[in-house]
Amino acid sequence: MLVRSVVVLLVLCVQHLHGSALPAVSSYEFTAYRMQQYNLGQQKHGCRGAIVVAEARSADEPSLTRRCIIMKVEDFSAEKYIEAQRQNAAAVLILLPKNISSLSHNTVQTFMMSESEALQKETLIPVYVAPEDEQLLYMYEEVKQAAATRTSSIFVRVLRSIVTATAFQILVSNNAAIKATTDNAIVTLEGVLPGAGEDAPTIVITAHYDSYGLAPWLSFGADSNGSGVTILLELARLFQKLYSSSSTRPQYNLMFSLTGGGKYNFLGTKRWIEENLDHAESSLLHDNVAFVLCLDTLGKSDELFVHVSRPPKPDTPAYSFIQQLEEVISSRFSWVKVGLVHKKINLVESTVAWEHERYSLRRIPGFTVSHLEDPKSALRGSILDTMSQVDFRKLKRNGIILAETLARFMYNLTDKGSPKDVQVFKSQLDFQDSRLSSLMSFLTSVPRATQLLDKEPRQILLVNSLEHEFKRYLQQVHRHTFRQDKRDPDLSFFDQMNQPIVMYRVKPAAFDLFLGGCIAAYLGIVYYSIQNFGHLYIKLKAAVKCKHQ
């Protein structure tokens, strides 16, 4: 009777402790994506480790040493990441939700800031990101429950550890050494709409098209800088219609460029400028450049900032353009805040903040238009920068602002009327919602991390499609491919950025002790019965005889 009561109690405890758990397989293989690892000059960034053989634990556990810490996006913070490093955790695995739009604004902002801080320095701890699924969420709930029972009574903790607890072993079976790759190519595209007259001044419109985030394979870069590329391509389409007729062709050359390596110190821009100024015999950059307009992160917000390395002087084209920009906004979009941000270039620093600084270093006037005021904003490089972060109404509005400002500057429409009365881009020349949506969907259909763009078929197809789009609307389209100096590369990437990981479902060591005790007790009972079989037999025979009498 006592034995039966104990068994019933154990079954009830098992049901109570595991009532909310989903069934899980004994082993499960999934793909996870490793944190960025690259060298930019002499500076090292990202994680240096890839191998993981450790037990999964929640970030709420007091002891994380030699454990693989499982976090959701909501759990990840700079403080927890630093604590994992301090305790020498074996690895960090972040679970990325399928529907990022379901995350709250505060959660997204907190994660982006922590992500940016984690990427600034190197770490030896392997950091992986994996899309959520049923099995991974089951593991997450189990390790969270295990952490919660640390505060329970001793009886519940011991019972759970012995009978019901499930531990998970995380294993990255690839033991190959991580190798540097210095053969990456950076592609920059250029195209021109030739203006009327000879020796016409040139306006350059540029945007970088690559993306950046905690894990290259999950970096889709919708706002930064899919929004800038989308507006640039739509500007090329609209202005091509104006340039196609001699009666509406302005006296300005309009040069468009899409640059690679923007997330890595704008290396594609740097090499493209060097090729045009130092190596090409003839180039529009050699001639009279009115200004360079750089488009960066324009997919949301009711603010627009013009970033300059030095305030433009009056009577210069750049000064006139900025005045026109302010006039268009105040006349047609009065709720939009516009501001001029002046940041000097620090020659001591090895990196530049904005793309226009690459031109300023070569004494070419330029500025960047962005809805971000701080160049160090975490939004410029995050795996959460997806389509859900883009407001298409504001993307279209920002495109209209830039298009109208360019038209008023090039056609000198100041004396023709206010921007509200004189609108160039309407009817047949209006921004198309369907085109903006399709361009953004196309750009975010694959991760555009620089280390993937010349290696993976879908990424190569994306760059080829951008070149095709240039050839459709522009003239003198050229594709510039820049390769690293293998002896002294400016930028080095590393392999093993996506790994197959196996999750094993195992019992903890306490269960082995419990099972060993049960076996020892069973053997003890059998041994005792054998040694005292004669005495037991006599007692049993006497009891049977007494019963019959």
List the Cα angle 327/333/338 in 5-degree steps: 60
| Residue 488 is assigned to a structural domain of this protein | no
Q: Domain check: are 171 and 194 in the same one?
A: no
Q: pLDDT tens for residues 446-455?
A: 999 999 999 9
As a whole number of angstroms, the distance between CA 27 and CA 515 comes to 22
Q: Domain check: are 167 and 220 in the same one?
A: no
| Residue 108 is assigned to a structural domain of this protein | yes
| Residue 270 is assigned to a structural domain of this protein | yes
* CATH number, position 317: 3.40.630.10
* Bigger pLDDT: 19 vs 425: 425
Q: Domain check: are 257 and 292 in the same one?
A: yes
Longest dimension (CA), the chain: 132
| Residue 411 is assigned to a structural domain of this protein | yes
State whether the Cα torsion 17-22-26-30 is positive or negative: negative
Q: Domain check: are 501 and 467 in the same one?
A: no
Q: What is the pLDDT of residue 535?
A: 77
Confidence of residue 527 (pLDDT cuts 50, 70, 90): confident
Confidence of residue 5 (pLDDT cuts 50, 70, 90): very low
Decide if pLDDT at 507 tops 90.
no
Tokens representing 9 are 């109690």
Decide if pLDDT at 533 tops 80.
no
The letter for the amino acid at 241 is K
Residues sharing a CB contact under 8 Å with residue 533, sequence separation 6 or more, in sequence order:
none
- Burial (CB count within 10 angstroms: exposed 0-12, middle 13-18, buried 19+), residue 343: middle
Q: Domain check: are 129 and 89 in the same one?
A: yes
Q: Domain check: are 382 and 363 in the same one?
A: yes
Partners of 289 in beta bridges: 202
| Residue 307 is assigned to a structural domain of this protein | yes
Tell me the mean pLDDT in the region 214-237.
96
Lowest mean per-residue pLDDT among 183-192, 293-302, 525-534: 525-534
Domain count, the chain: 2
- Burial (CB count within 10 angstroms: exposed 0-12, middle 13-18, buried 19+), residue 283: middle
Residues sharing a CB contact under 8 Å with residue 427, sequence separation 6 or more, in sequence order:
none
Q: What is the pLDDT of residue 391?
A: 96
Q: pLDDT tens for residues 33-82?
A: 999 999 988 889 999 999 999 989 999 888 899 999 999 999 999 999 99
| Residue 532 is assigned to a structural domain of this protein | no
As a whole number of angstroms, the distance between CA 315 and CA 52 comes to 62
| Residue 215 is assigned to a structural domain of this protein | yes
How far, CA to CA in Å, does 195 sit from each of 240, 244, 292? Answer: 11, 10, 16
Closest CA to 48 of 57, 38, 33, 40: 38
DSSP 449: B
Q: Domain check: are 161 and 209 in the same one?
A: no
Decide if pLDDT at 162 tops 70.
no
Confidence of residue 425 (pLDDT cuts 50, 70, 90): very high
Lowest mean per-residue pLDDT among 147-161, 385-399, 415-429, 502-516: 147-161
Q: What is the pLDDT of residue 234?
A: 97
Cβ–Cβ under 8 Å, residues 490 and 40 = yes
As a whole number of angstroms, the distance between CA 296 and CA 209 comes to 10
Place of tokens 């999964």: 56
Q: Which domain holds residue 86?
A: 12-176+497-511
Q: Domain check: are 134 and 190 in the same one?
A: no
Q: What is the pLDDT of residue 484?
A: 84
Q: Domain check: are 201 and 169 in the same one?
A: no
Confidence of residue 85 (pLDDT cuts 50, 70, 90): very high
Provide the CB-side half-sphere exposure for 362 (13 A, CA): 21
Q: Domain check: are 264 and 165 in the same one?
A: no
Q: Domain check: are 206 and 162 in the same one?
A: no
As a whole number of angstroms, the distance between CA 93 and CA 169 comes to 12
How far, CA to CA in Å, does 41 sit from each of 265, 346, 349, 490, 514? Answer: 10, 17, 12, 5, 56
* Bigger pLDDT: 368 vs 515: 368
| Residue 542 is assigned to a structural domain of this protein | no
Q: pLDDT tens for residues 480-499?
A: 999 988 788 889 999 989 99
As a whole number of angstroms, the distance between CA 546 and CA 549 comes to 5
- Beta strands per DSSP E along 157-252: 167-172, 180-181, 185-193, 202-208
Q: pLDDT tens for residues 332-349?
A: 999 999 999 999 998 888
Q: Domain check: are 501 and 475 in the same one?
A: no
